Amino acid sequence: MASIFRTIADLWSLVVGLAITGKEFCRPGVTVHYPRAEVTPESAASFRGPIELIGLDKEPAKPRCIACMLCVSACPSGCIAVTRAPAPKPTPEELKAIAEAEARGEKPKRPAPPKAPGTWTYDFSLCSLCGSCVEVCPVDSIGFSNDIYMVGTKREDFVFDQLARLARKAAARKAEPKPAAKPAPSAAPEAAPAPAASPSETGAATPASEA
């Protein structure tokens, strides 16, 4: 008997479901008819595109990356290749000091290589956008870009030199006339540098046709 009443009470959930879909039916659609309509920065912000390096807060052209190689080993597709930056060349004075120290039989102190990447290449054609690298990065130096316009006609177009890309992006942002403090999603006000800025921010080899 109790189960009968419960079943009848549960019927109400059907009405709730219908009310939800009915309400959604009446709301405007969220699809952007892309070539005919412009994609708003807000909807582009939720796009998880090819990964990119994130710069230091103070020096946006320099990546936060410490070349720990965790991302390289975490990547299931092997699409990330990082090399450490070489140690800085000792100046003539330092060379002299080292030579003297060696002559004295001491162990000279050579300049250590910096904790920074020398090269940082990323092959988007292999990437499955799983986000393991984003998750594993200890210094939050990797993030998904939201570049929805990336286009390429050759395989090589999808191999990115991320360091160069980061530098280019930082330069582009510097050139921009300060469109608020929003970070990545290139909060370009529609009028000014939007069409010019976004292709320049695109991938490394960027043929990113605007057509």
Partner 1 sequence: MNATISFDSVLHVVLALVGVAVFVGLNGLLLVYAERKVAGFIQRRPGPYEVGPQGILQAVADALKLIGKQLVRPDRADPLLFWMAPVLAFFPVLLLFLPLPFSPLLTGWDVNLGLLLILAFAGFNVLALLLAGWGSNNKYGLLGAARAVAQSVAYEIPLLLAVLAIAFQEGTLSLSSIVATQGSMPWQWNIAVQPLAFLIFLISALGETNRAPFDLPEAESELTAGFHTEYSGMGFGMFFLAEYANMIVACSVCTVLFLGGWKGPFLDGAWWFLAKVYALLLAMMWFRWTFPRVRFDQLLNLNWRWLLPLGVLNLLATAFVMKL
- The binding site for partner 1 (CB under 8 A) comprises 7, 14, 17-18, 20-22, 24-25, 27-31, 33
Strands (E), 71-204: 80-84, 117-123, 142-144, 159-161
**Identity of the residue, 28 or 177, whose beta carbon is nearer to partner 1 in the bound complex:** 28
In the chain, DSSP finds a helix count (H) and a strand count (E) of 7, 5
Cβ of residue 26: shortest distance to partner 1, in angstroms? 8
CA distance 17 to 4: 21
Cβ of residue 174: shortest distance to partner 1, in angstroms? 39
**Identity of the residue, 35 or 86, whose beta carbon is nearer to partner 1 in the bound complex:** 35
Cβ of residue 185: shortest distance to partner 1, in angstroms? 22
> CA angle, 64 as apex, 132 and 56 as ends, to 5°?
130
CA distance 143 to 52: 6
- Number of Cβ atoms within 10 Å of the Cβ of 71: 24
- Asked if residues 82 and 176 have their Cβ atoms less than 8 Å apart, the reply is no
**Identity of the residue, 22 or 195, whose beta carbon is nearer to partner 1 in the bound complex:** 22
Q: Where is 196: in which H helix or E strand?
A: helix 194-201
Cβ of residue 24: shortest distance to partner 1, in angstroms? 6
Cβ of residue 46: shortest distance to partner 1, in angstroms? 15
CA distance 49 to 106: 53
**Identity of the residue, 46 or 153, whose beta carbon is nearer to partner 1 in the bound complex:** 46
Structure tokens at 3: 């189960």
**Identity of the residue, 26 or 180, whose beta carbon is nearer to partner 1 in the bound complex:** 26
Cβ of residue 188: shortest distance to partner 1, in angstroms? 26
**Identity of the residue, 30 or 112, whose beta carbon is nearer to partner 1 in the bound complex:** 30
> How far is CA 124 from each of CA 11, 100, 113, 182, rounded to the nearest angstrom?
50, 49, 29, 26
